[in-house]
């Protein structure tokens, strides 16, 4: 075990720290959909042009091909510099791109990967359906093979940024006689195709990031299928595996920054004289440090084995609960300010409301506990 | 940066666990640290792995000690191991290398003296049997005192242990004293990190016992671990254990890397491990049902040990202290 970073790593840290200081956007992200998309993509493009797009992506696909530790350093410095949320680039960078790297054809890689990294195209995810949430294998959106096309009918939901997206990673049932994990297909859907209707859903924090997507005879070229027809489940799992591995690097640093801001707020509001407030903040600091140490362990494990282990589900459970506790504590600390949505702590109130999503997004904490119980501890299945 | 144990460290863990399971199995609650076993653990180096070699130690690291103490916690090994280790360190750091060598070699055992709340005149002594000295860390002072000739013993919280009550004035001559804040805090951090390691060991042991029981105990026609009400509690125990392990490693590595005199990481490990160990020890009893409430099962012993460890090192205050510190400039960011 070794906590120290190499001289090269430290030099990289200084380099990105100074680049981020000079380049992080300082203007406010626009509130309209088109403006927000343009803003997110402009920031992604600037990172790409600066040489920081896809730090751990292979060089042949426009990435930097650097070790995961550099990605970790980037995320730490990014959060500390107050870098903005990745926004609508999230699915392309974190799901779609990595899946194409793992399972896409050469033509698919050629067409899409560079445009994702360079901030030219926005992706969204079409997995969940009204009848297939935690039970993702319950997907019923149909894809019928007609000649060299796939004709899609059905509905997806909880699709982040569908209203801004150019492409979608879409999971459909191509074998009508199949059930569960069989007979599914993972296909790249052009969101500008005729027959697609997108309806934004406003979430409890007041933002419209989620959408419902309806498909009415949407025709997709067969060449857009990633992997084989009927092999969609295994392609989808390679995406989710990615999400549970390296995604924590960024999340843990954001939590750490959010907590230190909270402690500054508590000092400003003269709450630190109260020993029970100090104790509560101290517990949060302890758990943020535990989160960081678990992230280091999982990054080290990914460096050694290249595959995120099932401990990712434990970190997800821990993270989701901790994030909610930090934001709840913030509401306690700001007191009456918490009633003033447009006031001094308006942004923090929004973050608190958003935190209700952390125990659901990317797999509910209940499903994660099933995974830990069954795959880590070896307890019998409950279904 | 590599945050996973290497092959040598894994071998140390395995050898330590094997020794404890064969020589002090949990099923034999009377297998205390008799003279033979005390000699064995001394030969294994438990009393001074990280003490400097010219002070009788093995010149290894606090992280190595962390791995050993995690196993000590897991196996509920009893006796004055940590107090003797800390006393040797205190002796070494104050220039008493002869005494340090004697302590690491196991010739003298060291009890622990704790101030009693609301009674400034008296102290509670732990592990006084066969101990000639006692370690007292109080305020800005850490010292080794001779133990009075006659200490009346009475039962302690942990079954089979005893405690003694003595007046402060009855403590003998202090052979070693540190009154500078830096040395005293450094001793506190060694005690704290190796106590966190024991709590992390308790987290892992209780996770394993509860999981094993949940796999074997059949009710309503299936193992109770198939029910989410039980399975999810086991999953939370696994999560607690993962957090406790890693935050303790982080604290040990930070203490080794920086002479900064910061308590931040040690306090974080204390706060996190305290809550994790209590949660796991309690859940382990509940999952064992009525059996967990009996003295025949080991479950109660983990609760009692968790109290003993946390009270001895004042871990209930760790979170409050941590919340009042300035934000950490951690080593990896330098």
- Which A positions 349-368 lie with beta carbon below 8 A of chain B? 366, 368
Nearest residue to A136 via CA among A320, A328, A367, A290: A367
Contact residues, chain B, for A260 at CB < 8 Å: 327
Integer Cα distance of B71 and B69 in angstroms: 5
Across A87-91, B261-265, B267-271, the highest mean pLDDT is recorded for B267-271
- Tell me the two tokens of residue B152: 């009346």
Specify whether B26 is located in the same domain as B159.
yes
Residues B146 and B108: beta-carbon distance below 8 Å: no
User: What is the chain A residue with the closest CA to B215?
Assistant: A379
Does a structural domain hold residue B174? yes
Integer Cα distance of A212 and A196 in angstroms: 10
Domain extent, residue B224, equals: 182-329
Q: What is the pLDDT of residues B217-268, one digit of tens each?
A: 999 999 999 999 999 999 999 999 999 999 999 999 999 987 678 999 999 9
Contact residues, chain A, for B242 at CB < 8 Å: 294, 297, 311, 314-315, 318
CB neighbours of residue B29 within 10 Å: 16
User: For residue B67, how many C-alpha atoms fall within 13 Å in the half-sphere facing its CB?
Assistant: 23
- Tell me the two tokens of residue A68: 């995961």
Beta-bridge mates of residue B144: B135, B176
Q: Is A128 buried (19+), middle (13-18) or exposed (0-12) by CB count in 10 A?
A: middle
- Tell me the two tokens of residue A134: 């935690």
Task: State the distance between the two ends of chain A, measured CA to CA, in whole angstroms.
Answer: 40
The reply to whether residue B323 touches residue A277, judged by beta carbons under 8 angstroms, is yes
CB contact A303 to B (< 8 Å): yes
* End-of-domain residue from the set B130, B157, B179: B179
* End-of-domain residue from the set B179, B207, B224: B179
Integer Cα distance of A159 and B188 in angstroms: 52
CB neighbours of residue A339 within 10 Å: 10
Q: What is the pLDDT of residues A245-298, one digit of tens each?
A: 567 888 888 899 999 999 999 999 999 999 999 999 999 999 999 999 999 998
The reply to whether residue A373 touches residue B232, judged by beta carbons under 8 angstroms, is yes
Does a structural domain hold residue B125? yes
Specify whether B49 is located in the same domain as B135.
yes
Instruction: Scan for tokens 């120290």, then name that residue.
Output: A4
Task: State the distance between the two ends of chain B, measured CA to CA, in whole angstroms.
Answer: 14
Compute the nearest-CA separation of B145 from chain A (Å).
34
- Distance set, CA B145 to CA B28, B48, B171, B314 (Å): 33, 20, 6, 21
Contact residues, chain B, for A3 at CB < 8 Å: 1, 3, 250, 253-254, 257, 331-332
Domain harbouring B233, CATH code:
1.20.140.10
Average pLDDT, chain A: 93
pTM of this prediction exceeds 0.90: yes
- Tell me the two tokens of residue A288: 């943020």
Specify whether B28 is located in the same domain as B49.
yes
- Distance set, CA A379 to CA A34, A310, A369, B204, B223 (Å): 49, 14, 11, 16, 9
Integer Cα distance of B215 and B19 in angstroms: 27
CB contact A17 to B (< 8 Å): no
* End-of-domain residue from the set B114, B149, B179: B179
Contact residues, chain A, for B219 at CB < 8 Å: none
- Local structure of residue A55 (DSSP, 8 states): T
DSSP E strand boundaries for B117-253: 119-126, 131-138, 141-146, 153-155, 162-167, 174-178, 218-219, 222-223
The reply to whether residue A293 touches residue B247, judged by beta carbons under 8 angstroms, is yes
Please check the confidence at residue B328 and state whether its pLDDT lies above 80: no
Domain harbouring B47, CATH code:
1.10.540.10
Contact residues, chain A, for B223 at CB < 8 Å: 379-380
- Average pLDDT score over residue span A38-63: 93
- A249 or A377, which is more confident? A377
Specify whether B167 is located in the same domain as B81.
yes
- Local structure of residue A29 (DSSP, 8 states): P
Pairing of strands B131-138, B109-116: parallel
The reply to whether residue B242 touches residue A294, judged by beta carbons under 8 angstroms, is yes
User: For residue A106, how many C-alpha atoms fall within 13 Å in the half-sphere facing its CB?
Assistant: 0
Integer Cα distance of B73 and B251 in angstroms: 17
Specify whether B21 is located in the same domain as B167.
yes
Q: Can you give the pLDDT at residue B334?
A: 44
Nearest residue to A61 via CA among A20, A108, A25: A108
The reply to whether residue A377 touches residue B253, judged by beta carbons under 8 angstroms, is no
Does a structural domain hold residue B334? no
Specify whether B98 is located in the same domain as B212.
no
Contact residues, chain A, for B225 at CB < 8 Å: 373, 377, 379-380
Q: Can you give the pLDDT at residue A192?
A: 98
- Tell me the two tokens of residue A357: 């999503």
User: For residue A55, how many C-alpha atoms fall within 13 Å in the half-sphere facing its CB?
Assistant: 17
Residues B241 and B203: beta-carbon distance below 8 Å: yes
DSSP E strand boundaries for chain A: 123-126, 142-146, 149-156, 167-173, 184-190, 196-201, 210-221, 225-226
Please check the confidence at residue A328 and state whether its pLDDT lies above 50: yes
Does a structural domain hold residue B2? no
Number of domains present in the structure of chain B: 2
Compute the nearest-CA separation of A247 from chain B (Å).
17
The reply to whether residue B323 touches residue A69, judged by beta carbons under 8 angstroms, is no
Of all residues in chain B, what percent carry a pLDDT higher than 90? 90
Contact residues, chain B, for A380 at CB < 8 Å: 215, 222-223, 225-226
Q: What is the CA radius of gyration of chain B?
A: 20
Q: Can you give the pLDDT at residue B30?
A: 59
Contact residues, chain B, for A278 at CB < 8 Å: 319-320, 323-324
Specify whether B143 is located in the same domain as B194.
no
Compute the nearest-CA separation of A118 from chain B (Å).
29
Q: What is the pLDDT of residues A117-173, one digit of tens each?
A: 999 999 999 999 999 999 999 999 999 999 999 999 999 999 999 999 999 999 999
Specify whether B175 is located in the same domain as B196.
no
Q: Can you give the pLDDT at residue A54?
A: 86
The reply to whether residue B214 touches residue A275, judged by beta carbons under 8 angstroms, is no
CB contact A9 to B (< 8 Å): yes
Specify whether B44 is located in the same domain as B135.
yes
CB contact A76 to B (< 8 Å): yes
The reply to whether residue A382 touches residue B228, judged by beta carbons under 8 angstroms, is yes
The reply to whether residue A370 touches residue B268, judged by beta carbons under 8 angstroms, is no
| Closest Cβ–Cβ partner in B226, B242, B268 for A381 | B226
Does a structural domain hold residue B165? yes
Residue A332 catalytic? no
- Tell me the two tokens of residue A158: 């909880």
The reply to whether residue B215 touches residue A380, judged by beta carbons under 8 angstroms, is yes
Domains of chain A, CATH where assigned: 7-117 (1.10.540.10), 123-230 (2.40.110.10), 246-376 (1.20.140.10)
Contact residues, chain B, for A282 at CB < 8 Å: 267, 271, 318-324
Does a structural domain hold residue B1? no
Q: What is the pLDDT of residues B154-208, one digit of tens each?
A: 999 999 999 999 999 999 889 899 999 999 999 999 999 999 999 999 999 999 9
| Closest Cβ–Cβ partner in A275, A373, A377 for B320 | A275
Helices (H) and strands (E) in chain A, counts: 12, 8
Phi, psi (rounded to 5 degrees) for B294: -90, 165
Beta-bridge mates of residue B110: B133
Please report which residue ranges of B122-180 form alpha helices under DSSP H.
none
The residue among A282, A363, A364, A378 with the most chain B CBs within 10 A of its CB, best to mutate, is A282
Confidence class for position A68, pLDDT limits 50, 70, 90: confident
Residues B270 and B277: beta-carbon distance below 8 Å: no
Please check the confidence at residue A55 and state whether its pLDDT lies above 50: yes
Specify whether B204 is located in the same domain as B121.
no
- Tell me the two tokens of residue A221: 């070229």
Integer Cα distance of B118 and A23 in angstroms: 58
| Closest Cβ–Cβ partner in A3, A314, A379 for B214 | A379
A-B C-beta contacts closer than 8 Å:
186
The reply to whether residue B225 touches residue A76, judged by beta carbons under 8 angstroms, is no
Please check the confidence at residue A314 and state whether its pLDDT lies above 70: yes
Instruction: Scan for tokens 């500008």, then name that residue.
Output: A192
The reply to whether residue A366 touches residue B333, judged by beta carbons under 8 angstroms, is no
Please check the confidence at residue B331 and state whether its pLDDT lies above 50: no
Please report which helix (H) or strand (E) contains residue A33, including its range. helix A33-49
Contacts of B161 (CB under 8 A, 6+ apart): B78, B126, B127, B155, B308
Compute the nearest-CA separation of A84 from chain B (Å).
21
The reply to whether residue A366 touches residue B236, judged by beta carbons under 8 angstroms, is no
Specify whether B189 is located in the same domain as B145.
no
Give me the DSSP letters along A340-353.
Answer: -TTSTTHHHHHHHH
One of A76, A77, A209, A243 is an active-site residue; which one? A243
CA quadruple B23, B24, B25, B27: dihedral positive or negative? Answer: positive
- Distance set, CA B233 to CA A72, A316, B2, B211, B283 (Å): 31, 16, 30, 10, 7
Specify whether B194 is located in the same domain as B142.
no
- Which A positions 182-221 lie with beta carbon below 8 A of chain B? none
């Amino acid at each position: 075990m070794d906590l120290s970073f190499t001289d090269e790593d430290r030099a990289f840290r200084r380099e990105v720290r100074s680049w981020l200081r000079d380049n992080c956007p300082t203007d406010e992200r626009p509130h309209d959909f088109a403006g927000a998309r343009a803003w997110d993509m402009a920031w992604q493009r600037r990172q790409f042009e600066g040489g920081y797009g896809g730090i751990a992506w292979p060089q042949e696909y426009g990435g930097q091909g650097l070790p995961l530790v550099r990605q970790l350093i980037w995320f730490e410095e990014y959060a500390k510099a107050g870098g903005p949320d990745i926004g609508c680039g999230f699915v392309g960078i974190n799901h779609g791109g990595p899946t194409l790297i793992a399972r896409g054809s050469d033509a698919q890689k050629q067409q899409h990967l560079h445009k994702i990294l360079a901030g030219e195209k926005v992706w969204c995810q079409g997995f969940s359906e009204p009848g297939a949430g935690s039970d993702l294998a319950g997907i019923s959106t149909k894809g019928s093979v007609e000649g060299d096309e796939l004709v899609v009918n059905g509905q997806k939901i909880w699709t982040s940024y569908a209203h801004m997206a150019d492409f979608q990673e879409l999971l459909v049932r191509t074998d009508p006689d199949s059930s569960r994990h069989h007979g599914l297909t993972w296909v790249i859907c052009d969101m500008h195709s005729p027959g697609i209707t997108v309806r934004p859903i406003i979430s409890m924090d007041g933002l419209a990031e989620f959408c419902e997507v309806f498909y009415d005879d949407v025709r997709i070229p067969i060449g857009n299928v990633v992997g084989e027809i009927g092999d969609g489940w295994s392609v989808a799992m390679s995406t989710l595996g990615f999400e549970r591995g390296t995604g924590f690097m960024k999340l843990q640093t954001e939590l750490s920054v959010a907590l230190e801001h909270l402690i500054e707020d508590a000092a400003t509001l003269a709450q630190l004289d109260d020993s029970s407030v100090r104790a509560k903040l101290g517990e949060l600091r302890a758990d943020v440090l535990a989160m960081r140490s678990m992230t280091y362990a999982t990054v080290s494990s990914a460096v050694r084995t290249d595959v995120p282990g099932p401990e990712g589900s434990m970190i997800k459970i821990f993270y989701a609960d901790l994030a909610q506790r930090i934001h709840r504590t913030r509401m306690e600390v700001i007191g009456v300010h918490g009633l003033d949505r447009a006031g001094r702590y308006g942004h923090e109130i929004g973050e608190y409301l958003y935190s209700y999503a952390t125990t659901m997004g990317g797999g509910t904490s209940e499903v994660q506990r099933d995974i830990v119980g069954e795959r880590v501890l070896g307890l019998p299945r409950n279904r | 940066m590599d945050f996973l144990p290497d092959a040598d460290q894994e071998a140390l863990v395995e050898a330590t666990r094997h020794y404890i399971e064969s020589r002090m199995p949990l099923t034999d609650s009377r297998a205390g640290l008799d003279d033979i076993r005390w000699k064995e653990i001394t030969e294994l180096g438990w009393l001074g792995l990280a003490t400097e070699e010219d002070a009788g130690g093995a010149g290894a690291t606090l992280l190595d000690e962390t791995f050993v103490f995690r196993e000590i916690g897991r196996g509920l090994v009893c006796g004055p191991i940590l107090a003797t280790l800390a006393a040797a360190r205190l002796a070494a750091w104050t220039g008493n290398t002869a005494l340090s060598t004697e302590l690491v070699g196991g010739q003298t055992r060291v009890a622990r003296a704790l101030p009693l709340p609301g009674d400034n005149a008296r102290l509670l002594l732990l592990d006084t049997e066969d101990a000639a000295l006692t370690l007292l860390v109080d305020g800005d002072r850490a010292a080794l005192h001779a133990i009075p000739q006659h200490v009346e013993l009475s039962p302690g919280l942990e079954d089979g242990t005893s405690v003694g009550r003595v007046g402060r004035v009855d403590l003998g001559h202090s052979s070693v004293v540190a009154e500078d804040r830096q040395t005293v805090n450094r001793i506190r951090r060694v005690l704290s990190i190796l106590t966190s390691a024991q709590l992390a060991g308790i987290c892992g042991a209780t996770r394993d016992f509860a999981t094993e029981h949940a796999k074997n105990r059949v009710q309503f026609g299936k193992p109770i671990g198939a029910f989410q009400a039980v399975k999810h509690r086991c999953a939370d125990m696994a999560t607690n254990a993962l957090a406790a392990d890693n935050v303790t490693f982080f604290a040990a590595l930070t203490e080794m890397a920086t002479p900064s005199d910061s308590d931040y990481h040690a306090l974080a490990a204390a706060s996190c491990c305290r809550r994790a160990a209590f949660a796991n020890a309690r859940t382990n009893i509940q999952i064992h049902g009525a059996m967990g409430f009996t003295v025949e099962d080991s479950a109660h012993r983990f609760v009692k040990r968790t109290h003993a460890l946390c009270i001895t090192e004042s871990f209930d205050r760790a979170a409050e202290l941590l919340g009042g510190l300035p934000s950490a400039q951690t080593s990896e960011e330098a």
